[in-house]
Amino acid sequence: MPAPVRRPAASARVRTGHFGRRLARALTRDPGKVAMFLALLLVTIVMLYPFEYMVVNSLRSEPQYLLQRGFSLSSWPALFSALPVGQELLNSTLIATAAILVILVCSSAAGFAFAKLAFRARGLVLLAVIGCMMVPVQSIIIPEYVNFANLHLINTYLSAILIYAALGTPFATFLMTAYFRGLPDELVEAALCDGLSYRQTFRRIALPLAKPALVTVTVLQFIQIWDDFLVGLLFLQEPTNRTITVGLGTLSSGHVVSVPVLMAGSLLSALPAVVVYLFFQRYLISGLTLGVAR
């Protein structure tokens, strides 16, 4: 006796029909919005495909990857045996944390000065800082390498920290300046009338109010520093102090490259930046828009 054919539940049919009617109404009322949604959906698929490729192939062995069938965890032990993953992750974390602290201190103080202090040639100095954002890193990396080599700082954390701080401070200063300009001048004047100095006003009033901008700078600079390869490759060449991206670069430079192992390392390297972005996404969006909206 054939098995009875299951029909969709009434509630499921109602929901499907309701969605279809809503989609039809949206197409007729605002086709531009629907086209934008479909375009964004296509972009999302294109952007997520490499991540899906990494996840799937990191769970395969080399024969399974060639056959594109089956799953295995053998690539992960091979990754940890080929690279000092823990040390490289620690190196990346230390360098990113120290560089971000330098960027936050310099950019927040400079942004408050450009926004709230009146001094000669303020606009010209700010224009010079913004102009530093336009200088490509490839054009200055070799002179900086020579300078640090003369100071005997190559293959040290300090060299990478200073380079990342120098590269990230101009944009962070521009962002903090835009944010502090949104703060009412009356707030600063009231603090000065109460007997606070500009330094105390900055530390006690401006900084607590600038939390969204500070988080935005932290997230953007963390992603930039964590994913960078060029600076780490030139300034951190020793196996004991290289970052995770440089380690993956050395892993892929061999004559025989195991793609599943490389995908496992790439996934492990990408996860911290993705987690930080997802966790601070709300603060990131508000920090990017508040300074403009005010």
Question: pTM, whole model, 2 decimals?
Answer: 0.81
Lowest mean pLDDT, pick from 74-78, 237-241, 286-290: 286-290
- Domain definitions of the chain by residue range: 10-58, 83-293
Place of tokens 């969709």: 8
Radius of gyration of the chain (CA): 26
Instruction: For CA atoms 201, 179, 165, 135, give the dihedral sign.
Output: negative
Distance, CA of 37 to CA of 44 (rounded, Å): 10
32-48: pLDDT as tens digits? 777 888 888 899 899 88
Domain 83-293 = CATH 2.60.120.380: no
pLDDT of residue 293: 45
Indicate the average pLDDT of the chain: 84
DSSP string, 63-98: HHHHHT----STHHHHHHHHS-HHHHHHHHHHHHHH
Lowest mean pLDDT among 5-9, 160-164, 267-271: 5-9
